């Protein structure tokens, strides 16, 4: 049988290694300055009071948007794949070129997610 599809245009097919976006793993200094009581500010931290913020930790696959903390997660950032927020918030972030709200990677595309 003869193939019926037209041949690929020159430069369409790349026969080389797959390259993934890189993430900056530069160490960050997270030491806490001592407080007057001798401990660190972390020891005196108070628990989160806002229920919406507490529930946004992503414990469930159908979590809450990490941006507006109101709508359900509907989209994923491409290429990082983080399922971070509702379509409205993600489209807004994409248009402002802010990057993924989880890892700050450049967003090439937002895809809508559907639960089956």
Helical H runs in the chain? 51-54, 87-95
How would DSSP label each residue in 30-80?
A: -PPPB-TTSSBTTTTPPPP--HHHHGGG--STT-B-TTTSSSBP-EEEETT
Q: How far apart are CA 115 and CA 104, in angstroms?
A: 25
Within a domain: 12: no
Within a domain: 25: no
| Domain range enclosing 55 | 51-112
Within a domain: 22: no
Contact 85, 67 (CB under 8 A): yes
Within a domain: 19: no
| CATH number of the domain to which 89 belongs | 3.30.40.10
Can you give the pTM of this predicted structure? 0.47
Using one digit for the tens of pLDDT, what is the confidence trace for 14-34? Answer: 677 767 667 777 777 767 676
Within a domain: 41: no
Predicted pLDDT at 22? 72
- Per-residue b or e along 44-56, where b marks 16 or more CB atoms closer than 10 Å to that residue's CB: eeeeeeeeeeeeb
Mean pLDDT by 10-residue block, N- to C-terminus, for the chain (116 residues)?
Answer: 74 71 72 64 47 43 82 92 92 92 92 86
Within a domain: 27: no
């Amino acid at each position: 049988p003869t193939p019926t599809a037209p041949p690929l245009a020159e430069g369409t097919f790349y026969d080389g290694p797959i390259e993934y976006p890189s993430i900056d793993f530069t160490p960050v200094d997270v030491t806490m300055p001592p407080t007057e009581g001798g401990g660190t500010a972390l020891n005196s931290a108070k628990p989160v009071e806002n229920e919406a913020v507490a529930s946004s930790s992503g414990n469930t696959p159908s979590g809450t948007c990490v941006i507006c903390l109101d709508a359900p997660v509907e989209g994923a950032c491409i290429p990082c794949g983080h399922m971070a927020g509702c379509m409205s918030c993600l489209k807004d972030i994409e248009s402002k070129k802010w990057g993924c709200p989880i890892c700050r990677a450049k967003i090439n595309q937002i895809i809508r997610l559907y639960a089956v």
